[in-house]
Every structure is written in C-alpha cells, then in structure tokens.
Amino acid sequence: MRFDIVTIFPGFFASIFDNGILRRALAEGLVTVGVHDLRVFTHDRHRTVDDRPFGGGEGMVLKPQPLAEAFASLGIQPKTERVKGTGFSPDVDAEIEPRALAPEGNASENSSPIPPPRVILLSAQGRPFTQALARELAATERVVLVCGRYEGVDERINQIYCDMELSIGDYVLSGGELAAAVVVDATMRLLPGVLGNEASSEFESFGVADAEIAVAEDGVPRSQHGAGGLLDYPHYTRPAEFAGLRVPETLLNGDHSEIRRWRREQQLRKTLANRPDLLEGATLSKEDRKLLDAIRGETE
C-alpha cells in the first residue's frame, strides 16, 4: 500500500515515520509513504501557497494552483477524468523526496487493474474518521492525503479532486498534518504483516468486525477496540503486586473461560463509564445485557 501526503510542513512527518511499527513497516516495504512539499509547486519568488479569502474574513486559504500541480505530479487526475481500473501512473516516484521513502517493495507494475486512488482532504469539516474507515482504506492500493492549513483549502480543490473530506475528531487543529499521521497509523497497522503477531489470513477480508478476528488460538479474546465494538479491557503485566495493588486474581488462575468472562465484564464497565454511546451500536449477548443491568444497578 502507498500513501502520498501533500503538506506545507514536510518535516513534520520525519519523527512519525522514524519510530516504532511505522518505521518497521516502511523498512520492510509493507507500506510506502511519499511526503510532498506543496511549495515545490509554486512559481513565485516567495513560494506563496495561500491567499486572502474572497468575501473577507479572518485567515488565509490554500490556493488551488499549487495543489492542482501537486496532484498532476502524483498522477492524480480530476475525479471526472479518472477511469476506473487505470489507477495512477507508476512513474510518480521521481517526484518523491527520497528521505521519506521506503525501498520499493511490491510496486504494482503488473497488468492487473489498479483500483483508483482515494484522495482525502483532511479538515475539521470532514466526516469522522473511524476504525471502519481505516479498514476500508487498508483495502485500498493507494491513498493521497491533503493536509489543510490556515482557514482552509480553496473549495474547488475539494470539488475537483477529493473523494472524501475527513476529520479526526470534534476539536480544531492548526492543520491536517497530525490528522494525516493518525490516518496513516490507524490504517497501516491493519495491513497484513505489519503487526507481526497475527495470521495474515485473518485479515484477508477487511470487512469483518473486530470482534470476529479478536479471538486468539487459545480461545482468550485479544485486545480489541473498533467500530461496532466495545472499549478494551484493562491490561496487567508483572509484578503481580505493585504499589500495594494486586492484579485481579482471575487473570492469575489460567481459567480461560473465567478470564474471558472477566474481560467482557470489564469491557462493559469501561464502555458504560467512558463511551455509553458505543453501547447502542455494539453487538450484545443476553448475558451482556444482564451484566450491564447489574452494573447500572450498582451505581444507583
């Protein structure tokens, strides 16, 4: 999978891609990221990327021309000219800063139809980014992320090129860079082989709910959180006693069905306390509902 990020702060991403799971995935060629400096596509002495808003008001707006040229250099056509199955021209690599690039792994040079890239504008006005959407993107060959800045991006860019406008939450960031990093992280960790500890066959169909893939071979549910799911249960590691607090006895006993029940109850408790809104969309068994009623009764 390949991400292309268009930004006026290319340096922002260095530390993000230089650490942890992302670094390993890049080094192993499981994913490729190109970071593209929008100022490269300006032609004036001051490398101007923004201008004042028509109609007046605060702040500056990203000009359409540098963005249009950035798209062209990436082989991204206007939506109306994208032909299904043709994808993008693979010779875009010449335009990409080598620093941000992993070695080309399985570049798609075969003749099979390449799905068209998803072009995403990151802005506080976007639809919410969710685990379900991360799964959708993980099944996409190529994702282009456009980082908004200032007061916004000329709306014609959104109209002409962008398949979707995404927000990472109900707060205002000073730019889309942090959001782009969030989208890349959440998406690439779902790619087969990236986390290293799951059988890739489990991930062949990305449409499955987290709950369905969350049971490990020993029958103990794995850590999980996702769309349609509950919040995760609490985790403990050694020592069994720390600062006078003992790890719950259930986790020390090795009774897997008891552990499963304990974790499910903790998930219900945590979700009820922190995200009661998730309970409406969650798949709950009869036992779950009974437990929930009991937990609700405790606090009254």
Residues of this chain that interact with ligand 6GU (CB under 6 A) are 122-124, 126, 148, 166-169, 171-173, 175-176, 179
Nearer to ligand 6GU among residue 64 and residue 126 (C-beta):
126
- Shortest distance (Å) from residue 9 CB to ligand 6GU: 13
- Shortest distance (Å) from residue 136 CB to ligand 6GU: 17
- Indicate the helix (H) or strand (E) that contains 32: strand 32-37
Cα 211 to Cα 41: distance, rounded to the nearest angstrom: 45
Nearer to ligand 6GU among residue 117 and residue 126 (C-beta):
126
- Shortest distance (Å) from residue 145 CB to ligand 6GU: 9
- Shortest distance (Å) from residue 125 CB to ligand 6GU: 8
Nearer to ligand 6GU among residue 181 and residue 272 (C-beta):
181
Please answer whether residues 28 and 105 qualify as being in contact, where contact means their C-beta atoms are separated by less than 8 angstroms: yes
Nearest-5° Cα angle at 281, 279 to 284: 65
Nearer to ligand 6GU among residue 16 and residue 168 (C-beta):
168
Radius of gyration of the chain (CA): 23
N residues, the chain: 300
Cα 21 to Cα 196: distance, rounded to the nearest angstrom: 10
Question: Which residue is nearest to ligand 6GU, using beta carbons?
Answer: 179
- Shortest distance (Å) from residue 169 CB to ligand 6GU: 5
Nearer to ligand 6GU among residue 164 and residue 195 (C-beta):
164
- Say which residue the tokens 């690039």 belong to: 101
**Closest to 288 measured CA to CA, from 229, 220, 236:** 229
